[in-house]
Amino acid sequence: MFNASANGPVSGTKLILRPLIGLMRDQPPEEIERHVVREIEKHRRLRDDAVMLEAKINAGSEPESTREAIQDYIAAMIAVHAQQTVVSTLLDILGYIPDMPKLKSH
């Protein structure tokens, strides 16, 4: 189990979200794991969206549409990186990487 105080990060260089430590403090491990799985799935969706936007940039031929696609991609990557910090912090709190549900085929 992760034992960081609300005042101290895991290391001097790793970013953690201290409010998540407080939110998860009294939660049982199975509840924390449920949150971790949901946030990992969200991270994957955000990453997939960013990959599609990147492909749109690479396929763009008109300067205006390419400019818009680049702005959308930047916004998507901000969301991906922010979500990665959420996932990382929750994994530190949980103390292990949970088994993920099997992906559903389309």
Closest C-alpha among 18, 17, 9 to residue 82: 17
Give me the pLDDT at residue 105, please. Answer: 60
Which structural domain range is residue 64 located in? Answer: 33-94
pLDDT of residue 103: 72
In a domain, 68, yes or no: yes
Q: Is the residue at 20 inside a domain?
A: no
The number of folded domains in the chain is: 1
Per-residue pLDDT tens digits for 68-91: 999 999 999 999 999 999 999 999
Q: By the 8 A CB rule, do 1 and 96 touch? A: no
Residue 20 burial (CB count, 10 A): 19
Please report where in the chains the tokens 């991270």 appear, as a residue.
Answer: 43
Residue tagged 């960013």 (tokens)? 50
Task: Assess if residue 53 is contained within a domain.
Answer: yes
